[in-house]
Structures are given as structure tokens and as C-alpha cells.
Structure 1
Amino acid sequence: MVLITSKLLLMIIQELYSDNGIGFVNSQLKTIFHNRGILHKTPCVNTPQQNRRIECKHHHILDVACALRFQASLSLSLWGSTP
């Protein structure tokens, strides 16, 4: 995911902010982040108010994706599940 995103954006990812979900907090990803020099930040445990930052950015990405889909007149079947 990190490598693909970095290549698509033509940028080096320096920092990744995510929740404490098992998908982002595991030894395999920790090794990848360390090898690539990526600082992985997570909110404090049991503080849902800190997740607001992540949720706002996530919703913004979904809104942009929906707008792009609408602008391109693409079929919903090409986008999988949508909000």
C-alpha cells in the first residue's frame, strides 16, 4: 500500500497517521515503515476524539472519489462498495 501510493503520487511518504487497528499496527508493517523511513503515528488508546483527524481525512478522500466518479460518468460497478 505504501509503495503503491508513493509511486502513484510521485512523492516519498514521510509520515502515516492511522488508528490503532490491526491492519496498521503489526510487526510486518512496522518493519516496512522502518525500512522506508516512514514515521507511523497513532492516537492514544481509548480516545475516540483523536480519531476525528483520521475520520475527517478519510471522508474527504471518499468525497473526492465520489465526485471524480460522478464527473467521469463511470458505472458504480467499477467502484465496488461506495458510501
Structure 2
Amino acid sequence: MAQKVVREWLVPDMTCDGCVQAIRRSLSGLAGVEQVAIELNTKRVQVQFDPTQILADAIQQRIEQAGFTPQPAPPTEGE
């Protein structure tokens, strides 16, 4: 069974539903990306992925290519 990793990024310049859709489109269909959760109110993008197929750096680069400036999110309470 493949290992799954969850990473979060803060995307301070994500300001509207259009931004959310642009980020979702940039990540959809990427090999190894299992799930994408985007919270506009907290400006967080959470991605579950298989690290044997894609690296976190590649995911971050895709968000950047969509025109945003993602930063690794600090852990939230309980992580």
C-alpha cells in the first residue's frame, strides 16, 4: 500500500472563489495527488499525495505557476 502524505500551504494572495478554482485546476490531474482541500477563509491549501509519484516542491511549483505565492503552513493545533 502506497504511503500518503498531507501538506498544507498558506496562500495569502488567494482572495476569491476564482482563485480557489484556479488552484484546484492547477493541481487536478497531477499524478500522485489524491485529494485537494482549499479553505478560502483561512487561505490554506491542503494536499494529500503519494510521495513516490510527486514531491511537495512540485505541488508548490504548480500553485506558483497558477499565479500565487504559497508558503508552507505552520502546523495547526493537534498535528
TM-score by length of 2: 0.28
Structure whose alpha-carbon radius of gyration is higher: 1
Q: Which has the higher helix share?
A: 1
TM-score by length of 1: 0.27
Q: Which has the higher strand share?
A: 2
Q: Which has the higher contact order (CA 8 A, sep 6+)?
A: 2
